[in-house]
Chain A
């Protein structure tokens, strides 16, 4: 029943896309398309929530006579799919709502509207697919429609380059995934997930499948070193699409990983979890370090997405490690934490991208060094952006804290693991996580402080106006969800119970029955967290503090010159900059992570030109991994180019020699 509703919603989205192609230039197209998308996502969201709230229940399947004639298109709605459908459609509904207002500022709506609806449909289809063919087809559909969205403003050369790198990486990822499914299908060529699940997979084949999935889903999610396209492509799209790509599409990639590794592939081996843990930890730390160095607000958010994906993959790696050690309760905890963090990240990352989009429309600027002081001109946006920053920095009582706390609870179970390698590695990765959590906080202090506080650095920032009511509403809904999920995490954890039950065979203890809505991951004696009490405490103490200050301190409002500490020059340029804020951290980690070099150009005495400090940063992943590959391909292309200009006889000779060589190989080999 629910699956039929969901498929109808997807059909409606595809239909919207088709209609949008025809009617994109009409006056009401924008509102109609976003309203239709909002309605379709809303219905799909309710269906998925209903399925999840009914305890996951039995999985529903449906086969449509589409796709390969002898196979058909199989769809299945189980607890895992329902959970990710919630993420997809919540993000989709929020983005559609935001688009209702934001879309008015879009100069080329006919390039956005059709692909927006198609993109939503593609992500829904990936999650529902129940055979390899449908999965890959929807995956590629999702990639291509998002690629078209990245290409929206195709006149800018940087966007062209971003889209090019994106499509190369996306094709590479799909190739890896199709190879993975080829291995899973085995010699019996079983492409239905049901058959793959039932089949036994050799350990070596399973290990190869894991590597290929890490390449395929990992490149879509943005695991280092496959992340290079992400900070280019996500900011290039219009902001509500950036929010969808960062907040939702990376989660679909996580879904692909979880579906294949935990559901289809069979039980993991302990060393495999070390690979996932290492990649996740490195991704988290490198992602947030890059984010700290960034001046572009949307690129900063994209890099922070990479960090959060790292956090999620660390948690998934923990779940694999515990599963390999038959510690199902701990594996359930780690998997719940990973999925919870995926949900949370979709909330606050969408919220932050919406905020960045509001700033972009208000000022036309993405560079933080040219913003500042927006809190006076965009109070509602600033407040909601601040909420998102607090949530992503994992401050209680918001949702980011709960999921990261759960992940650390899982890390703390590592002494019970059997293998020494894991026992040593898990705390080390936990240390990396703690580091990246702290750096994330610093990063978002920078993002909020430089963008919204202080004084405007440019006239554009000075003239900014508040965002429209649809954008505010979309951000407010997401901020409220951040607070709700943080204050009442028990309901989310209980909602995830059927997912872990189906994948691992165990679930976390039921939280709803505990007094005072406390969260107890393992046992009351070990650790517990009560978001509601923390929230009440913070609310009460903050109100008291405000009351005390206003009652007993001076109530008079005083206006005084800012920065008036011996500086007669009160230009806004004397303010703290983003680069200045990140400098101490760059000094600590920069030489290692970016091979940072500072050049100081100090003029000699008597010379009146200004002194200059330039910082040179290197993207080591790009320089060591991608640049050599690029050079090798370029070299080979140049060398092979003259094959295009042979004479007829030389072509014949080539064919002839190829034939003879193959025959020789056959003769020698047999």
Chain B
């Protein structure tokens, strides 16, 4: 045993013995002390020992949080500062996925509060403003949505580009609504070129990037990621919060498409997924604001004037329409006018129909007070004959031209003629009246031919005529003028009778006085009648008119027996018979 050998006491040395003894007794402890000393003095061993207990120690210390935090804070700060100084990009890349959510969380609460207020305002004023906008849309003829947009657009992300950061190659492009961009591929490359240009030209170093380009109300917001860029073209006042939106989208795309971005070799198909589309779609935001523009008094006045004008126009239009309808009604009621078609035509009114020439002038039926302008009436009437009794009567009057003594009455197609008229007219009237439409029959029973009285008078006069003879002679002493007048009267009788559609017959009755024998008287009376007959024929009287009769003394003209009475009885008298022609013909 090694220990045994080395511990053997040497003769003659007390100290040595003691040491030997101590060594003998305390060797294990001494070794332990040496070991511990080495562990404490050797940094490597000490570090190893500390590393064994450090996690546990930290855990224990964490229970007393403040102490550890306080102790570590300066160190950690120094570490972070050093890291950022050394390679800021690395640090930025490491922080990139977490920094967004952290910021968003912080501003979410503020935004929520703000939106709450905004929606209250909107809700409060929507109905009134909404109505005003609707009215404006109606007035201007523009779609309501467009009016709202124009009034309330605060900003709108019109286009969003997802661009490969290194090459500037377009990975994906979306645009809002109908906003077009001629070539997004070239646009994205140009944007990258501009950024490169700015970097290069103004010697901007490090990781500073192009954030936005602004021109008028168009802003191009650029959000840079390690592998890709999102650029959004924004119309209006782009709010700062859009940075957050773009940033979040970019983060999502970096997370979802990490591999595709890293290995990108020109094929954008990998980014044509619904995922990417939806993410980018979230960038196409728009916000609208309430507008408190006052309506100009001029506009209001103009509007009122327009309204008044429109009202007046509508009122006059209505009045005119009513007047036209009234006019049509009047036309319809007017005898001899038939309206077949009526309505508006161009700026005015058009009426078509039939009109009897005897009817009233259609224009004259328009009330002078009517608001309807006669100039705007276009009237077309075809002529026709109406069978209205009054019109037929008028036509009869014109056709027959009756004398004043004749009265015409049309009753149910029958023309009643009353009064007196020349027989010639009556005959003509009978013929003509029936040719007229609307006259089915003619009644002249109450119409007297105007020669009737004359005929009667002549008949009476002739009936009283006595042609006297001397005693026992058959030759009259009557003067030739007397006979001539008699012949003339008889001829007139015959003409008048014919005019009155009557047949006249005249019987020459021969008489004798009571002296002598009846046989003798009969012969004498015949001879007398024959004598007168011969005389009258010689004077041109129509033989058909005359007949003879011998009355002898039986039918005395006078019953007086004195010489004057007897002289009366030596005569020829005339008996006149008048009969209607038909009767006579029978």
A and B part of one assembly: no
- Could you tell me which B residues sit within 8 Å of A by CB distance? none
- Could you tell me which A residues sit within 8 Å of B by CB distance? none
